[in-house]
Amino acid sequence: MSADPAAKSAIGLAGAAAPSSSPVLDIRGLSVVYRTPAGDVRAVDHVNLALGAGEVVGLAGESGSGKSTLAYGACRLLRAPALVTNGSVTYRGRRVSRPADILKMRPDELRRLRWREIAIVFQSAMNALNPVLKVRDQLLDAIYAHLKVPRAEAHSRAASLLDLVGIPRSRLSSYPHELSGGMRQRVMIAMALAAEPEIIIMDEPTTALDVVVQRDILAQIVELKDRLGFSILFITHDLSLLLELADRIAVMYAGQFVEIATSDEIHREAAHPYTKGLLNSFPSLRGPRRDLAGIPGSPPDLRNPPPGCPFVPRCVYARPECQDVDMQLLPVATSRDPDHVTACPFVLPDTPAPPVPPVPSAAPGNSAGELGT
């Protein structure tokens, strides 16, 4: 890539630091690679992201775009062959005396940070809960590990945590397999809340759930957030969900951000072709029924990223100059959101889509079209 990484992150900051007060979590220039015999996979490449107090920031992208790697890398939860090669992650909590760089923390500092300051809700509650321990013991485990509280208080805390997420206290003596998928996910959320963290990272917490249950849990999360005042980094591939839930959305592609803006702006004035593609990927229940295309093709191989914009092979707007794009996030001039940034210098929200190339018709000239008689 041609751009000087330092210059790039300096410019990217303008767009990343949207919240007016100093952010709770400030990720700058973070790079993560996976060391493989075939070369480094650049899973996250110089990204900047700020999470303000009480804010819900959505991280959207396909599988393999690096969104989970980014979040886990920022919390130092990755292990070899993943390697954080660059960047800083500044945490400014209300309960810590001064800002600290998570990437430079000693193990004991990290232990104090985790769960008490930053908690994570993992995608698969089925696998994240221990199948041979009762809900009570798992909650107590989390409480004892991170808080110094007497036994009686720990027990009452475990019970009140279940109250918080709307599960009857009698479920404390249940095993995970006795709970429905939605209840298990609620237990995971209760565990994350055990030490009243400032930040909760949610990694596709509702992807495996039914829409009705999903909606209930999201409403619960929002309600808890309003009550307890934590910030949320919400990772999902479902942009439609984020549009409703998040304050700001960062769209990730091939390890880099391609667009960051408020949800309203993303919904109304998405600038980057990839964001436009994602928005065009889910059928809507309301409005006119129209033909949708999704985003044909698949993400690039990050061992050997192509020069310029990584989205070129799948982009309907692609042109020769795209080879030289250095993926700097620049403000969208026409946008109402001053912090709306995009990595595509050519396409603006109102750029008309080029005529859709004809869908490659399958197997020209073969006779199998007469199947099935």
Partner 1 sequence: MSEQTLTSAAAARGPLAMEAISLSKDFQIGRGHTLHAVRDVSFNLYRGAVVALVGESGSGKSTAARLLAGQEPLTSGTIRLDGRQVRVSSRTDFRRYKSEVQLVFQDPFSSLNPIHTVRYHLERPVKLHQRSVNLGREVVSLMEQVRLTPAKQFLAKYPHELSGGQRQRVSFARALAARPSVLLADEPVSMLDVSIRLEMLNLLDDLRQRFRLAMLYITHDIASARYFADEILVMYAGEIVERGPAEEVTQVPAHPYTQLLVTSAPDPDNLGSALRGGSRRQGPATESGRPQNLDSSATRGCPFNPRCPFADDQCRREDPALVQISQTRGAACWHLDVAAPELVSGLRGGGDTKTK
Nearest CB to partner 1, comparing residues 109 and 223: 223
Cβ nearer to partner 1, comparing 30 with 218 = 218
Chain residues binding partner 1 by CB under 8 A are: 56, 62-63, 180-182, 210-216, 218-219, 222-223, 226, 237-241, 243-247, 263-264, 267, 277-287, 289, 292-296, 298, 359-360, 362-363, 366, 368-369, 371-373
Query: Helix, strand or coil for residue 188?
Result: helix
* Cβ atoms of 33 and 42 closer than 8 Å: yes
- Smallest separation, CB 147 to partner 1 (Å): 27
- Closest to partner 1 by CB, 77 vs 126, is 126
Beta-bridge partners for 84? 32
CA pair distance 61, 367, nearest whole angstrom: 39
Q: What is the 3-state secondary structure (H, E, C) of 338-359?
A: CCCEECCCCCCCCCCCCCCCCC
Non-local (6+) Cβ contacts of 101 within 8 A are 88, 89, 90, 91
Give me the least distance between CB of 295 and partner 1, in Å please: 4
Do the beta carbons of residue 128 and residue 188 sit within 8 Å? yes
User: Residue 75: CB partners within 8 Å, gap ≥ 6?
Assistant: 89, 102, 114, 118, 120, 201
Which stretch of DSSP H or E encloses residue 119? strand 118-121
Closest approach of Cβ 277 to partner 1, in Å? 7
Closer of 151 and 227 to partner 1 (Cβ):
227
DSSP 320: G
At its nearest, how many Å lie between partner 1 and the CB of residue 258?
13
Closest separation in Å from C-beta 262 to partner 1: 10
Output the CA angle 196-197-202, nearest 5 degrees. Answer: 120
Comparing CB distances to partner 1, the nearer of 152 and 211 is 211
Q: Based on CB atoms, which residue is closest to partner 1, 18 or 245?
A: 245
- Minimum CB separation from partner 1 for residue 129, in Å? 18
Query: Which of 80/368 has CB closer to partner 1?
Result: 368
Integer Rg of the chain from CA: 22
Q: Which are the contacts of 206, defined by CB distance < 8 A and separation ≥ 6?
A: 185, 213, 214, 217, 218, 236, 241
CB of 334 to partner 1, least distance (A): 19
Minimum CB distance to partner 1, residue 76 (Å): 27
Q: Name which of 107 and 369 has its Cβ closer to partner 1.
A: 369
298-323 burial code (b ≥16 CB/10 A, e <16): ebbebeebeebbbbbebbbbbeeebe
Q: Judged by CB, which is closer to partner 1: 298, or 323?
A: 298
Q: Which two tokens stand for residue 32?
A: 């993560």
Question: How far is 250 from 265, CA to CA, in rounded Å?
Answer: 12
Q: In angstroms, what is the minimal distance from the CB of 230 to partner 1? A: 14
Q: Count Cα neighbours of 45 within 13 Å in the Cβ-side half-sphere.
A: 27
